[in-house]
Amino acid sequence: MSEIEIIAKQMVAKGKGILAADESTGTMTKRLSSVSVESTSQNRLKFRETLFSSMGMKNFIGGVILYDETIRQKTSSGKTIPDLIKSYGSIPGIKVDAGAKKLAGSKDEKITEGLDGLRERLSEYYNLGARFTKWRAIYNISKLCPSELAIKSNAHALARYASLVQEANMVPIVEPEVLMDGEHNIDKCYEVTSKVLKECYNELVIHNVNLKGTILKPNMILPGNKSNQKATSAEIAKKTLKCLKENVPHEVPGIAFLSGGQTEIEATQNLNEINKINDTNFLISFSYGRALQQSALKNWSKDIKDTDNTQKIFNHRSKMNSLSTEAGWNIDLEKHIAV
């Protein structure tokens, strides 16, 4: 087994998931502003350091996705952020795409950029301590979207990215996100996600990507956030697992879902339901940002020196999601914020 295959399995090992702490400075500023905290590099570091030094990291987090600013920062004790993460038994990773920009030839769709100069950036990130990476592509659902152009263009970019990452001896997280925005029902989400995944894996195979050394970060199969048709967790789980079984090659070791607009409880409950019926060899886990951090951020904003309570809240959320990777979560456990 190669080094990247070992790392991929470690990232979503039994009971563990991935903390997506790769918010750009702009996104983090919005998050901090929403809780009335000034977005300085020092405050952004302080919040992230609070999470990265919690016991929940040791027990429940297999990897942390960082942003360019964060991977270069040092903690209050002088340790680099990657070294802090490693000291808690987790693996440092890095977001390497340059964001979604307007797709030429399409009115309402986007293509993720960042391939230019990526080989050199990957070498630098490896030397800074990163051992895996992330690249996110986004797809809208509407009457005309996603177009074949958007599906094929983003799949091709994801595959070129993944090939370069493995060349640099790191694990690529492949994140094709079908957005929750819209009036579509759950069946439309299933149909579009199937097309997107199928094309992604066609391109990954063409680009000679070792699928055993990758992690897939997909959306769950959900109705649009403006849909009149709601879905139960059981229905979401059934359709999501069916979509994975039909479109994701069995060589892929792990699937770490994004939360994609779900609440903290919804993201945990739906992951738990998926694992209740998981009859595949996939390690099915989480790669959550807001769904792991939001409650901790709200508490931290009240008193940024109150590290203990912020960590307790993060530990609890991490533990709940850890339990859901083994179908061991239930709503009654949410009453006890302890690890």
The beta strand positions in the chain, using DSSP E, are 17-20, 61-66, 91-95, 100-102, 110-112, 132-139, 171-178, 215-216, 254-257, 283-288
Tell me, what's the pLDDT at 339? 40
**Which is the catalytic residue, given 217, 239, 312, 319?**
217
Q: Which of 254, 290, 284, 252 is nearest to 271 (CA)?
A: 284
Tell me, what's the pLDDT at 297? 93
Tell me, what's the pLDDT at 338? 47
Interstrand relation of 110-112 and 100-102 (parallel, antiparallel or unpaired)? antiparallel
For the stretch 196-244, pLDDT in tens is 999 999 999 999 999 999 999 999 999 999 999 999 999 999 999 999 9
For helices 290-302 and 25-34, what crossing angle results, to 10°? 50
Half-sphere CA count of 240, side-chain side, radius 13 A: 30
Tell me, what's the pLDDT at 336? 63
266 has catalytic annotation? no
Tell me, what's the pLDDT at 181? 95
Tell me, what's the pLDDT at 191? 98
| CA angle, residues 50, 90, 218, in degrees to nearest 5 | 95
- What is the C-alpha separation between 255 and 252, in angstroms, rounded? 8
**Which is the catalytic residue, given 23, 49, 109, 175?**
175
Tell me, what's the pLDDT at 312? 95
Low-confidence ranges of the chain (pLDDT < 70): 336-339
Q: Which of 227, 122, 199 is nearest to 166 (CA)?
A: 122
Tell me, what's the pLDDT at 337? 61
Instruction: Report pTM.
Output: 0.96
312 has catalytic annotation? no
- Domains of the chain, CATH where assigned: 3-335 (3.20.20.70)
Instruction: Determine if the peptide bond prior to 172 is cis (ω within 30°).
Output: no
